[in-house]
Amino acid sequence: MLAADEVDEALLGHLQLVAGRVAKDLGLEEKGFRLVTNNLKDAGQVVFHLHYHLLAGRPFG
């Protein structure tokens, strides 16, 4: 991710753990979920800052 630097390493790891907790709170630990971050316009990013999308509730192709 181009918006992140080495100084963000601990924060990014923390975000992964929090995303897992949110998924568990939503009851997604058995069916699964997808955690996505896009980087820049050609990847579909429309809000140009680092953020995650937790996607679930349907099969992904």
Q: CB neighbours of 1 closer than 8 A, spacing ≥ 6?
A: 37, 39, 50
53 is catalytic: no
| Positive or negative: CA dihedral 36, 37, 39, 45 | positive
| Catalytic residue, candidates 14, 49, 51, 53 | 51
Tell the residue number behind the tokens 């058995």, with chain if given.
30
Active-site residue set: 51
